[in-house]
């Protein structure tokens, strides 16, 4: 069981919306919360949204953040040895 305090304006809006939907205020609030829950569950994760932007995913190197200086040194050495 949950109890909460609402502003007068929100309480009035819920009353009008529930009446228009033909349900009780409690049922209307339950439906709103269920809709929000389903919306969040169907939303892609942060990883899914940014996986193409993450270096270790595309480079194959899992240690880019922790060994950044060493990786840059290796890249510079490889570049200077090619010339």
Q: Note the pLDDT tens digit of each residue in 2-54.
A: 899 999 999 999 999 999 999 999 999 999 999 999 988 888 888 888 777 76
Give the model's pLDDT for residue 49: 81
Inside any domain, residue 29? yes
- pLDDT at residue 56 tops 80: no
- Inter-helix orientation angle 8-21/25-42, to 10°: 90
Q: Which residue has the tokens 């993450």?
A: 54
Residue 3, in any domain of the structure: no
In a domain, 1, yes or no: no
Report yes or no on 67 lying in a domain. yes
DSSP 45: P
Query: pTM, whole model, 2 decimals?
Result: 0.53
Residue 12: give the domain boundaries: 8-43
Same domain, 37 and 60: no
What is the number of H-type helices and E-type strands within the chain? 5, 0
Domain count, the chain: 2
């Amino acid at each position: 069981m949950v109890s909460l305090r609402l502003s007068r304006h929100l309480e009035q809006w819920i009353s009008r919306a529930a009446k228009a939907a033909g349900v009780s205020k409690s049922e209307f609030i339950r439906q709103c919360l269920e809709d929000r829950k389903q919306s969040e569950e169907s939303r892609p994760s942060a990883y899914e949204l940014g996986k193409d932007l993450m270096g270790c995913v595309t480079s194959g190197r899992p240690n880019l953040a922790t060994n950044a200086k060493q990786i840059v040194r290796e890249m510079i050495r490889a570049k200077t040895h090619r010339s």
